[in-house]
């Protein structure tokens, strides 16, 4: 409970009358009148507040996309005849980014008062939304009374999906077909039943009209890839990477890459590793494969140990008899260069390895920033060493025949998708 203006005025009046009573005995007992009014009013408000209940209805997605801003609405209602004033402290789970604020409400019987929030989830998994803290004004305006709200809203945060906004530039297919390939070999091998995610350009419309169902052409030059995404969930994946941590960034990149690969007819799987291989989903084609990968990604969490890419490479080599495109999402600084080079050496020449890593944009900007104090030159030297180490690791990996790149957190998914589609066009796998 906290006093409002009307109660404070009575307190002030009682104090003034008490002082006057010290000066003139005729005023000696008058301070008791505002004091009695105040106590009686507070007792009345305390009794009536128990009969004034507030209901809360939450309108928001049950599955939030990791790193994407989504709206959530809180609708408050009450059944008392008298309008009710209240203040609500709006917050969210610790793993959600939102700006806390206090909102004033005036609730009328039979009408909902709605507050809207924008929030951005930063961590995978189920989360319980905390009940907002509320205080209700008494009918006499004497005090704010705390009120406990019941809330039953437990959203789950899942990997993001590939949309037109985050597709690679120049990818106009929108998930509807394969990029056009150069070279000969457009021979039709056979006609077959249409499969989900088949590009429209291979549908045989005449045969479809004759048979009354969609029929696709199987072309001799359609060569599909097998992709395995190896995702680092070691301790370095807990470092911040933009709006999420690195694990969250890797999860979104892996989910979008799997979605795009399925759209193009490629088989895709995933291996999650830390100090040892944790979970592996073998490469498969189609939407069921994407669903299995997304279910695996939803359960990922940061492990405390240092990652071991060598053991991950050994697991891939032992489990995959056919040639793969191995997309390795990891940190080029946490694990030693020797371990990464050894992992690439284990995978070649059978598999083609592509390493995608994130770079810290704040550190890379330091060498060219103007010095503001005496420590800035030393920070610039450390940032230069950071940049040179990343570049040297990339060169060493490329010297072994692997492809490698680093990108800012907000550009990594686009860079990985562009590289994947470039490998397909160039037929490097």
pTM over 0.85: no
Positive or negative, the Cα torsion across 166, 168, 170, 174?
A: negative
Rounded CA separation 121/60 (Å): 13
Structure tokens at 199: 């590009």
| Count of CB atoms situated within 10 Å of the CB of 348 | 16
Site of tokens 């995933």: 270
For 328, list phi and psi in degrees, rounded to 5.
-100, 115
Cβ pair 51, 64 in contact under 8 A: no
Closest Cα to residue 254, out of 75, 37, 416, 50? 416
Residues 281 and 315: their CA atoms lie apart, in Å, by: 12
Q: Rounded to whole angstroms, how far apart are CA atoms 309 and 231?
A: 10
Q: One digit per residue, pLDDT tens: the chain, 429 residues?
A: 889 899 999 999 999 988 888 887 778 788 899 899 999 999 988 888 777 788 899 999 999 999 999 999 999 998 888 888 999 998 899 889 988 889 999 988 888 899 999 999 999 999 999 988 999 988 888 999 998 888 889 999 999 987 755 555 445 444 434 343 433 345 565 788 887 667 787 888 999 999 999 988 866 445 678 999 999 999 989 988 888 999 999 999 999 999 999 998 899 999 999 999 999 999 999 999 999 999 999 999 999 988 999 999 999 999 888 889 999 999 888 656 788 899 999 998 889 999 999 988 788 777 777 777 878 777 788 888 888 888 888 999 999 989 999 999 999 999 999 999 988 877 666
Tens of pLDDT, residues 368-413:
777 778 787 777 888 888 888 888 889 999 999 899 999 999 999 9
Q: What is the pLDDT of residues 146-198, one digit of tens each?
A: 988 888 899 999 999 877 555 554 454 444 343 434 333 455 657 888 876 67
Cα separation, 67 vs 248, in Å, equals 8
């Amino acid at each position: 409970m906290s006093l409002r203006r009307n109660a404070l005025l009575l307190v002030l009046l009682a104090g003034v009358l008490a002082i006057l009573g010290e000066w003139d005995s005729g005023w000696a007992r008058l301070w008791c009148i505002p004091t009695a009014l105040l106590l009686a009013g507070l007792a009345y408000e305390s009794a009536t507040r128990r009969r004034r209940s507030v209901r809360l209805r939450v309108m928001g997605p049950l599955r939030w996309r990791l790193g994407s801003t989504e709206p959530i609405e809180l609708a408050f209602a009450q059944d008392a005849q008298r309008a009710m004033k209240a203040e609500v402290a709006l917050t969210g789970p610790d793993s959600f980014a939102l700006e806390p604020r206090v909102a004033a409400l005036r609730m009328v019987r039979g009408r909902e008062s709605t507050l809207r929030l924008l929030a951005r989830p930063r961590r995978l998994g189920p989360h319980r939304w905390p009940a907002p803290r509320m205080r209700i004004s008494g009918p006499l305006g004497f005090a704010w009374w705390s009120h406990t709200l019941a809330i039953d809203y437990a959203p789950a945060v899942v990997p993001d999906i590939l949309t037109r906004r985050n597709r690679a530039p120049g990818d106009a297919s929108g998930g509807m077909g394969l990029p056009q390939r150069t070279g000969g070999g457009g021979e039709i091998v056979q006609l077959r039943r249409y499969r989900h995610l088949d590009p429209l350009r291979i549908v045989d419309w005449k045969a479809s009209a004759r048979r009354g169902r969609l029929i696709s052409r199987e072309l001799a030059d359609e060569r599909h890839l097998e992709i395995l995404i190896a995702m680092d969930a070691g301790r370095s994946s807990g470092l911040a990477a933009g709006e999420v941590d690195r694990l969250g960034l890797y999860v979104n990149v892996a989910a979008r890459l799997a979605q795009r690969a399925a759209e193009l007819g490629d088989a895709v799987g995933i291996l999650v590793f830390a100090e040892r291989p944790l979970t592996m989903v073998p490469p498969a084609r189609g939407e069921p494969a994407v669903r299995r990968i997304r279910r695996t990604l939803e359960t990922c969490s940061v492990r405390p140990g240092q990652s071991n890419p060598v053991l991950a490479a050994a697991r891939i080599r032992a489990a995959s008899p056919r040639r793969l495109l191995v997309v390795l999402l990891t940190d080029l600084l946490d694990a030693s260069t020797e371990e990464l080079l050894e992992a690439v050496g284990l995978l070649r020449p059978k598999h083609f390895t592509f390493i995608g890593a994130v770079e810290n944009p704040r550190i890379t900007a330091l060498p060219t920033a103007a010095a503001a104090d005496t420590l800035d030159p030393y920070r610039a030297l450390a940032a230069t060493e950071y940049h040179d180490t990343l570049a040297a690791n990339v060169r060493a990996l490329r010297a072994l025949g692997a492809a490698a790149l680093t990108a800012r957190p907000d550009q990594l998914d686009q860079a990985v998708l562009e590289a994947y589609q470039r490998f397909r066009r160039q037929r490097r796998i």
